[in-house]
Amino acid sequence: MMPKENLSLIQLLTLTINFLIGSSIVVGVGLQAKNDAWIALAAGTMAGFAIVWFYHKISDLVPEKNIYQIFEYVYGKKITILLSLLYVTYFVYLASRVVRDFIELISASIMPHTPIEFISLTLMLLMGYIIYLGIEVLARITEIFTPYILGFFVLLGIFLIASGTIDIQNIKPVLSGGVFPVAKVVFPSIITFPFGELIAFLIIFPAITKRNHSLKFSLIGVGIAGGLLTLSSLLTITTLGTDITQRSAFPLLSVARLVSVGEFIERMDSVVVFIMMLGILIKGAVFLFSATKGLEHIFNLPYRYFAVPLAMIVSLFSILVSVNFADHVEEGLTLVPKFLHLPFQFGVPGITMVIILWKKRKQIKKRKR
């Protein structure tokens, strides 16, 4: 048996922030709401609080167990193996999509002539090695870099204001089409991506040392990440305008390229690329860790055995997952939320929670007799 890994509350907080920012800040979230995208993100953050409470509630009902162990408690061994395989596939697919975001970002901004296979393989070797070392190593990475990420967002806002590139008129008229178009973007798009993807944290919650405070720190993490995404959306729309934002593959990167303060501070795009790379690395690693823990439960072998082989599979799938970036984005906006995210993030966990509550109630009645 491998020793139990322990994460502090601060590490949970930083993991949550970086995970939610992850690829969301790369491709942009809620852009279908046009100049009201920031409102959609603010509303989505409110829903995010309810989502993280929901996942914590499931974890608290069966303490010290991850999602695969909860499935076995609820459904028995045979059904659990099937569900575990489905969730392993789901997490591998999500990791592949996140890595594809990384590939497109690097190809477009830094290494346009480098084969995407090499970019994907390099990232996945690093990711597989981090997971092999353990989730604690990943948590320490987030703990170190999170203050720099927060500081960068503050500086970017200050520099854009100083550059005179922000035009507040770009967000007007506010809610010109009413509330319905914004609500349509919030559900299912923003609710499932990025907040619903916190389903992966049902693998991480049992490792938190002070569980009685974990919900509080998770909520703070959701609030900070949601605030940063909302700020990013506001900066993008007020700087670029709605039309350019929607046409841009990487909106925040386009914004950073406009920074020019006194002909001294210019082109902060390299810093933006680093922040995006870090977010993608952390988010992809969490999904990879969640998948390896599923294989650990199925085969009763330490998850570290599967870290590098599964990383290689993700590397391959990240290239095969879509034909090009436009196809990748379209698939992520239309098909994935409805046919994958909703069942895996809310359908199965919702049914599982109902059955757990029913079992608990049944046990209480037996004790009273």
In this predicted structure, the answer to whether residue 89 has a pLDDT above a threshold of 60 is: yes
Q: In this predicted model, what pLDDT tens digit does every residue of 305-315 receive, in sequence order?
A: 999 999 999 99
Domain-embedded: residue 367: no
Average pLDDT over residues 152-176: 85
| Residue 176 maps to a domain | yes
CATH number at residue 145: 1.20.1740.10
String of b and e for 258-268 (b: at least 16 CB within 10 Å)?
Answer: bbbeeeeeeeb
What total of structural domains would you count in the chain? 1
pLDDT score of 44: 95
What's the confidence (pLDDT) of residue 80? 96
- Give residue 68's pLDDT: 96
- How large is the average pLDDT for residues 5-9? 90
**What's the sign of the alpha-carbon dihedral 226, 227, 231, 234?**
positive
Quick check: 281 pLDDT over 80?
Answer: yes
Q: Does 79 map to a domain?
A: yes
Mean pLDDT, the chain, as a whole number?
90
pLDDT in tens, 44-59: 999 999 999 999 999 9
Q: What is the pLDDT of residues 183-229, one digit of tens each?
A: 999 998 999 999 999 999 999 999 998 889 999 999 999 999 999 99
- pLDDT score, position 178: 86
**Residue 264 confidence (pLDDT):** 66
What integer pLDDT is reported at residue 210 of this predicted model? Answer: 86
Instruction: Give the CA-trace dihedral at 90, 91, 95, 100, to 10 degrees.
Output: 10
pLDDT at 358 over 50: yes
**Reported confidence tier of residue 3, pLDDT bands at 50, 70, 90:** low
**pLDDT score recorded for residue 1:** 44
Instruction: Give me the mean pLDDT over the 106-134 stretch.
Output: 92
Partnered with residue 260 across adjacent β-strands are 266
Question: Is residue 246 over pLDDT 90?
Answer: no
**Do the domain assignments include residue 202?**
yes
In a domain, 263, yes or no: yes
Distances (CA, A) of 12 to 81, 93, 258, 293: 28, 24, 34, 18
Q: Is residue 255 part of a domain?
A: yes
Instruction: Express each pLDDT in 193-205 by its tens digit.
Output: 999 999 999 999 9
- Residue 368 covered by a domain: no
The reply to whether 42 falls in a domain is yes
Q: What is the pTM of this model?
A: 0.95
Boundaries of domain holding 356: 9-360
Distances (CA, A) of 163 to 30, 31, 171, 251, 266: 26, 24, 19, 18, 10
